[in-house]
């Protein structure tokens, strides 16, 4: 069959395309930026009119909609991406004679508890009202080596002190991406009855702590310490994080996390023809070390950047507002600076420290780490020559430059990637 997969470049879409192609179907990828021959350019943030879809459906027998966003941005709103564009696509499918539409919704969408759920459910209802064969698949949390949410959970699981938000009785039943792709393969088959809304869940129901423990064991980490976070504090963190672009934690995602994501796996097993994977089988031994290193890299780099930013910014603050200026000027006099050049050097150095601290957060680059290392080495050399007594100071103010240089070396060696 000729199958159009919308969202083919996404985490779920790529797995679905690979599965359908392996089954012998002619897969047409619907993507925002076509890169392969036969790709169709789509943009769910803009393609909200039926006319924009009709010409793209020529010869298409089945459409799979795997487009979704976890949080809104200036150019991607839930109403457009989850509701208006899918509604236009579904109407165009009915008009063009597409035989079947498979909609990837979300487990719990019918609750409409958040804008994410409400927009998904609105598209589901639109599809069920049209004269076209349809199946709606509502997956729980979807796990895969490259999934954003899965990567986030593995990162939390890898921490030496694991935060445990207060989630009450919430339980989770994540489904593996392989089972999701297999479910879509079955859903497009003509012998699978249409008109079904199927909850997709994995083979194991777990609490949030049990989920992280399973992932942690799979990556080969020892038992950690746990830090319980009260619900009000977590809600405050989610509210603050909601203002930070690209951070998946928002007040809405916090509400969905507290609600849990679990369902009877019987319907999934019936569709697949076998029991879906349980979370204890998500990380095979062959992937353990790779996922372990990815999880560590996901928080190691940011932690080192935050530490450096704190050092530079705190140093600037102390230099200007805490340490007596006359004492600082006395030290500069020993270096050979007096009068206005000394004052300019003091406040100029503080401004430079502040700028470097901000740059650690906003503009992480190899050139930045190299510049900071050069500055630290320069400061150390000047102090060693002009203020040698600091080399033997019991608090080791100069010796502490050694671990700072080590941090800069690590940051320079690690290329930024999707994990960092």
Residue 245 lies in a domain: no
| End position of a domain, from candidates 252, 283, 314 | 283
Residue 319 lies in a domain: yes
Place of tokens 């976890």: 70
All residues at 6 or more sequence positions from 351 whose CB lies less than 8 Å from its CB, including other chains: 316
Place of tokens 């899918």: 86
Asked if 279 and 328 sit in the same domain, the reply is no
Asked if 404 and 279 sit in the same domain, the reply is no
What CA–CA distance (Å, rounded) separates 25 from 17?
Answer: 9
What CA–CA distance (Å, rounded) separates 282 from 274?
Answer: 16
Asked if 55 and 188 sit in the same domain, the reply is yes
Residue 247 lies in a domain: no
38 or 135: which carries more pLDDT confidence?
135
Q: What's the rounded mean pLDDT across residues 387-407?
A: 89
What CA–CA distance (Å, rounded) separates 227 from 225?
Answer: 7
What pLDDT does residue 420 have? 40
Asked if 62 and 191 sit in the same domain, the reply is yes
Predicted confidence band of residue 284 (pLDDT cuts 50, 70, 90): very high
Asked if 267 and 365 sit in the same domain, the reply is no
For residue 236, pLDDT over 80 is answered with: yes
Asked if 403 and 275 sit in the same domain, the reply is no
Q: What's the rounded mean pLDDT across residues 386-394?
A: 87
Torsion sign, CA atoms 193, 196, 199, 200:
positive
What is the torsion angle, in degrees rounded to the nearest 10, for the CA atoms of residue 360, residue 362, residue 366 and residue 369? -20
Q: What's the rounded mean pLDDT across residues 204-214?
A: 97
Q: What's the rounded mean pLDDT across residues 242-256?
A: 86
What pLDDT does residue 392 have? 84
For 415, counting Cβ atoms within 10 Å of its Cβ (0-12 exposed, 13-18 middle, 19+ buried), the class is exposed
Eight-class DSSP state of 80: I
CATH of the domain at 65: 3.40.50.720
Tally of residues, the chain = 420
Contact between residue 126 and residue 272 where contact means Cβ atoms under 8 Å apart = no
Predicted confidence band of residue 297 (pLDDT cuts 50, 70, 90): very high
For 280, counting Cβ atoms within 10 Å of its Cβ (0-12 exposed, 13-18 middle, 19+ buried), the class is middle
Residue 270 lies in a domain: yes
Asked if 274 and 392 sit in the same domain, the reply is no
Predicted confidence band of residue 418 (pLDDT cuts 50, 70, 90): very low
Asked if 27 and 57 sit in the same domain, the reply is yes
Tokens in use for 137? 């698949």
What does pLDDT average to over the chain?
Answer: 94
Domain count for the chain: 2
Beta strand 206-207 pairing with 142-143? unpaired
Contact between residue 83 and residue 121 where contact means Cβ atoms under 8 Å apart = no
Residue 356 lies in a domain: yes
Place of tokens 């097993």: 269
What pLDDT does residue 404 have? 95
Percent of the chain, pLDDT > 90? Answer: 85
Percent of the chain, pLDDT > 70? Answer: 99
Place of tokens 């070390």: 289
For residue 415, pLDDT over 70 is answered with: no
- Lowest mean pLDDT of 27-31, 230-234, 249-253, name the range: 249-253
Residue 221 lies in a domain: no
Domain of 319 in residue numbering reads as 300-413
For residue 419, pLDDT over 60 is answered with: no
What pLDDT does residue 396 have? 84
For residue 408, pLDDT over 70 is answered with: yes
| End position of a domain, from candidates 283, 317, 352 | 283
Residue 233 lies in a domain: no
Asked if 67 and 102 sit in the same domain, the reply is yes
All residues at 6 or more sequence positions from 370 whose CB lies less than 8 Å from its CB, including other chains: 408, 412
Task: Give residue-wise pLDDT tens across range 25-62.
Answer: 999 999 999 999 889 999 999 999 999 998 899 999 99
What pLDDT does residue 107 have? 96
| End position of a domain, from candidates 249, 283, 317 | 283
For residue 117, pLDDT over 60 is answered with: yes
What CA–CA distance (Å, rounded) separates 84 from 34?
Answer: 22
For residue 416, pLDDT over 70 is answered with: no
Predicted TM-score of the model (pTM): 0.88
Asked if 120 and 38 sit in the same domain, the reply is yes
What is the Rg, in whole angstroms, of the alpha carbon atoms belonging to the chain?
Answer: 27
Question: To 5 degrees, how large is the angle CA 250–CA 252–CA 257?
Answer: 95
């Amino acid at each position: 069959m000729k199958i159009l997969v919308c969202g083919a470049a996404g985490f779920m879409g790529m797995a679905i395309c690979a599965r359908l192609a392996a089954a012998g179907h002619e897969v047409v990828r619907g993507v925002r930026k076509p890169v392969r021959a036969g790709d169709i350019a789509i943009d769910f943030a803009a393609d909200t009119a039926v006319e924009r879809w009709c010409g793209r459906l020529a010869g298409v027998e089945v459409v799979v909609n795997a487009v979704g966003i976890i949080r809104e941005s200036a150019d991607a709103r839930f109403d457009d991406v989850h509701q208006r564009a899918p509604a236009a696509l579904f109407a165009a499918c009915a008009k063009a004679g597409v035989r079947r539409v498979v909609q990837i919704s979300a487990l719990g969408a019918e609750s409409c508890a958040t804008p994410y759920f409400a927009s998904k459910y609105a598209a589901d209802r639109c599809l069920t009202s049209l004269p076209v064969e349809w199946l709606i698949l509502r997956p729980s949390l979807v796990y895969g080596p490259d999934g954003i949410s899965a990567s986030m959970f593995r990162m939390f699981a890898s921490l030496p002190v694991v935060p445990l938000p207060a989630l009450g009785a919430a339980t989770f039943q994540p489904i593996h991406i392989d089972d999701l792709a297999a479910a879509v393969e079955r859903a497009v088959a003509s012998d699978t009855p249409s008109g079904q809304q199927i909850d997709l869940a994995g083979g194991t129901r777990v609490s949030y702590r049990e989920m992280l423990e399973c992932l942690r064991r799979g990556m080969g980490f020892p038992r950690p310490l746990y830090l319980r976070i009260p619900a009000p504090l977590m809600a405050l963190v989610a509210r603050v994080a909601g203002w930070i672009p690209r951070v998946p934690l928002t007040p809405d995602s916090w509400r969905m996390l507290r609600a849990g994501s679990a369902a009877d796996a019987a319907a999934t097993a019936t569709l697949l023809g076998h029991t879906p994977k349980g979370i204890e089988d998500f990380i095979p031994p062959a992937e353990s070390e790779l996922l372990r290193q990815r999880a560590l890299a996901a928080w190691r780099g940011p932690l080192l950047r935050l530490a450096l930013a704190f050092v530079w910014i705190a140093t600037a603050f102390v230099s200007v507002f805490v340490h007596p200026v006359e004492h600082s000027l006395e030290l500069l006099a020993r270096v050979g600076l007096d009068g206005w050049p000394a004052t300019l050097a003091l406040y100029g150095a503080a401004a430079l420290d502040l700028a470097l601290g901000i740059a650690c957060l906003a503009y992480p680059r190899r050139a930045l780490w190299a510049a900071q290392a050069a500055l630290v080495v320069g400061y150390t050399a000047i102090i060693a020559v002009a203020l040698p007594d600091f080399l033997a100071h019991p608090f080791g103010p100069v010796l502490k430059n050694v671990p700072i240089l080590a941090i800069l070396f690590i940051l320079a060696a690690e290329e930024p990637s999707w994990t960092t």
